Chain A
Amino acid sequence: MLLSMEHLRKEYPNGKIAVDDFNLEVDKGEFIAFIGTSGSGKTTTMRMINRMLNQTSGTIKIDGKDISKMDPVKLRRSIGYVIQNTGLMPHMTIQENIEIVPKLLGWSKEKRAEQAHKMIELAQLPDDMLQRYPGELSGGQQQRIGVVRALAADQRIILMDEPFGALDPITRESLQDLVKHLQEDLGKTFIFVTHDMDEALHLATRVVIMSHGKQVQVDTPENILRHPANEFVTNLIGEERLIRAQPNILTVSQIMLKTPVSITPDKTLDDAIDLMHDRRVDTLLVTDDNGVLEGFVDLDDINRITDGTTLISRFTNRKVFYVQANSLIGDTVDRILKQGVKNVPVVDAKKHLVGIVTRTALVDIVYDALRGAPEANEEPASPINADIHAAANHEGGDTAQ
């Protein structure tokens, strides 16, 4: 474990508790985003990692070593630090800025210069910019330097405090790509404080949601979108974002009907008609005794046969289109719609029938994703939507209700 924080607590002399019982284990190469409202303790927690603040109680360990027993100056030199508004030294050239920590560590002049050239390349900026001053660069360029400066002495952990908050959206995105690259390709570990949920979800491998000094939820972006821990998290993420994310986080099993009407091949045509009549469906899925999907029969096939004792296996359609229960809606919905089938059976890994997806359910998902209307699941929100529902119901029938 690269970094571990146990029972961290920060209490100010005036009695205000900024951080309360914070626990987190961070592995090498992780990208942790701290997010929360202002005053949630996210920046305070981050600043305790390089001892810009000292915790009231609890321990922080890096590589198993308690940082409170280290020299804070040495500790800080080993941890990258990026803040909003860059923190570049205005009276130093870009090269001198990049070389600050290497110089503090006593690197030779040649080694420092070599590193500066390497870093400016990493920042994807022209080499001659090294001789310029921060004031001559745009905000985005300055922060690129701010980011690579934090790696100039081969720091493994980089702390970032709302580094892109002051940048316009396009510049911000290109910087996000830069840090993502540093994390994924160079294996750097980032602790990133932000109040921008899109940024957190986009960059982080794990998101730490904080409120009033406490951790509310710690999980991957996918899991947080899928299972927000409570109303606070839902609000923080925003209904809009949750709905838009649905196709990419919902699995087929979450929208399928779990009671597909099925029949075994040894039954007869009469049995099939009875079952259809009882359950008010026009299609039956055919499974063997173990529940493995074999095919389907529908009303058209049954109509053409007059002998009621014919075995189901004789007229089963074996060309059946099905989907896996654990596949994502986003990946599946196009395929389902293109097939032009009314209903799609859902199977598990061993092809056991576990459910059925109707076109109605798909319409809801597509509609929600496009329009962002959460109530559409329950009832149509607009006349147009009502038409779609009606059409879907009409087309899909009551197959498996």
Chain B
Amino acid sequence: MTHFLATYGWQLVAKTGQHLYISAAALALGVIVAVPLGILLTRMKHGANFVITLAGVLQTIPAMALLAMMIPIFGIGSTPAIVALFIYSLLPILRNTYLGMQGVSPTVRDAAKGMGMTWWQMMVRAEIPLAAPVIMAGIRLSATYVIAWATLASYIGAGGLGDFIFNGLNLYRSDLILGGSIPVILLALLIDYLLGKVERAVTPRPLR
């Protein structure tokens, strides 16, 4: 253990940094796209099912295949990895945003509109705060997925903790395999815990 850290310590920190960067970038893109899209879907009579099914289909593409498919388009490196993981992050966020917004009681929406809120005010003051816990749960789920799958990104040259694991597999070195996978697990647990805190923070007090 100490030997491993002494030898690979700085590399571990660097790889963890890469891993976090890839995951965070993919997740951020996922949130930026899926939350507004999910909200938009609740405003449309038709199309919601189609879009959510489409996101579901994307989800079924094997991770390895999706990563490989990115190479002809984006080459190798972190960009194709971020794009692929972004696609994976979409479905949980999209679905939870849609369900969360749908779950806001029509009475509340009717009252908000009837009192003279604009579309934007209804969103910001009533609907999004009430849907926030569900949306946040989707983001949290996506985050753990993305961190787990980001290990595969090493295969297309994106770096990250996957580098340890794949090197370990190639060289049959269990210290490298564990040295890569244990930090990934810890990272996923830590992020899940932190986002759990955020989820609680965005939940309106009486609804906790």
Q: Which residues of A contact B (CB under 8 A)?
A: 50, 52, 73-78, 81, 83-92, 100-101, 104, 133-136, 159
Of the residues A52, A84, A85, A89, contact of B113 by C-beta under 8 Å: A52
Beyond A78-B116, A86-B107, A87-B108, list 15 extra A-B contacts (CB 8 Å): A73-B117, A77-B116, A83-B111, A83-B114, A87-B110, A87-B112, A87-B114, A89-B108, A90-B108, A91-B129, A91-B206, A92-B204, A101-B115, A104-B116, A104-B117
Which residues of B are found within 8 Å of A90, using beta-carbon distances? 108, 130, 204, 206-207
Whether A87 pairs with B118 at a CB distance below 8 angstroms is: no
A interface footprint on B24-43 (CB within 8 Å = 1, 0 otherwise): 00000000000000000000
Which residues of B are found within 8 Å of A52, using beta-carbon distances? 110, 113-114
- Most chain A Cβ neighbours within 10 Å, of B110, B116, B126, B130: B116
A interface footprint on B96-139 (CB within 8 Å = 1, 0 otherwise): 00000000000110111111111001000110011000000000
**B205: interface (CB < 8 Å):** yes
B interface, size bucket: 20 to 34
Of the residues B110, B121, B129, B130, contact of A83 by C-beta under 8 Å: B110
26 contacts between A and B (CB under 8 A): A52-B110, A52-B114, A73-B117, A73-B118, A76-B113, A76-B114, A81-B115, A83-B107, A83-B110, A83-B111, A84-B107, A86-B107, A86-B111, A87-B107, A87-B108, A87-B114, A88-B111, A89-B112, A89-B125, A90-B206, A91-B204, A91-B206, A100-B117, A101-B116, A104-B116, A133-B206
Main secondary structure of the interface of B (DSSP, over half): helix
- Smallest beta-carbon distance A145→chain B, Å: 12
Which residues of A are found within 8 Å of B125, using beta-carbon distances? 89
Closest 3 A/B residue pairs (Cβ): A87-B111, A91-B204, A77-B116
Of the residues B107, B113, B207, contact of A91 by C-beta under 8 Å: B207
Q: A87 CA to B109 CA in the complex, in Å?
A: 8
Which residues of B are found within 8 Å of A87, using beta-carbon distances? 107-108, 110-112, 114
Which residues of A are found within 8 Å of B108, using beta-carbon distances? 87, 89-90
Q: A134 CA to B107 CA in the complex, in Å?
A: 14
- Most chain B Cβ neighbours within 10 Å, of A78, A100, A135: A100
